[in-house]
Amino acid sequence: MNSRERILGRVRRALADVPADETPLSRDYLREHGRRSAAQTVDLLAENLADYRALVHRCTDGELADLIMRLLAERGSRTVLVPPGLPPYWLKASDVTQVHDRAASTAHELDRVDSVVTGCAVAIAETGTLVLDGSPDQGRRRITLVPDHHICVVRVPGQVVSSVPQGLERLDPARPLTWISGPSATSDIELDRVEGVHGPRTLEVILVGED
């Protein structure tokens, strides 16, 4: 008997007392907390992102290219990682060297890049969370991890939901997902939170409204 059969056999014997008909699950928790307008939901997202030390900026679609240029310049970035499907006009004002997200790049090469700019799949206001799903405007998981500076662009209000349940509904589990709530942090020293460990130590979020 192999271990698979052994374990499944043990489970079945252990559950001899369990009747076949079980009460269905109750889900009487809330789908979202509180009632907010679309604008208030975006405000809550901005507030919660900032609370966990992300730097939040707001602009219109027409101002986006200039804002990205300014953020890269202020940081002193000379190179920026670019996912394959990033709208080209986002970087049209920036004169930094663009590094493309390629399968062949090594981790050491990524480590030498100053910044990375991506879109996102969905943003969750109640928790201040950005979710990336590897779509063409977001690229491979590692590109938002190794560089020390991440600029993430969120389209508001279209990409913003209120709650975790609403966020999960919009996501495809078959895609590899990265949920980001502020820059990396740790509570490992005396259970007190310190920001900035292995992930990007600076997370800038741009909330882009319509013109």
Shortest gap between Cβ of 127 and another protein (angstroms)? 4
Should residue 211 be labelled a site residue for another protein when binding is judged by CB under 8 A?
no
Give the Cα separation of 33 and 92 in Å (integer): 40
- Asked whether 45 and 35 are in contact (CB, 8 A), the reply is no
Q: Could you say whether residue 100 binds another protein (CB under 8 A)?
A: no
Q: Is 136 exposed, middle or buried (CB count within 10 Å of its CB: 0-12, 13-18, 19+)?
A: exposed
Residues 34, 39, 42, 48, Cα dihedral to 10°: -50
Residues in 102-131 at the binding interface with another protein, rule: CB under 8 A: 103, 106-108, 111, 124, 126-129
184 binds another protein (CB under 8 A): yes
Stretch that binds another protein, among 70-78, 85-93, 113-121, 184-192 (CB under 8 A): 184-192
**Separation between Cα atoms, residue 93 and residue 195, nearest integer Å:** 31
The yes or no reply on residue 35 touching another protein (CB under 8 A) is no
Rank residues 165 and 209 by Cβ distance to another protein and give the closer one. Answer: 165
Q: From the list 81, 183, 205, 206, which residue makes contact with another protein (rule: CB under 8 A)? A: 183
Least Cβ distance, residue 121 to another protein (angstroms): 12
Of 45, 151, 180, 206, which one interacts with another protein (CB under 8 A)? 180
Query: Measured between alpha carbons, how far is residue 29 from residues 26, 44, 127, 170 in Å?
Result: 9, 21, 17, 19
Closer CB to another protein, residue 70 or residue 166? 166
From candidates 36, 40, 52, 61, binder to another protein by CB under 8 A: 52
Q: How far apart are CA 64 and CA 71, in angstroms?
A: 11
| In the complex, least distance from residue 133 CB atom to another protein, rounded to whole angstroms | 9
Which of 21, 37, 191, 211 binds another protein (CB under 8 A)? It is 191
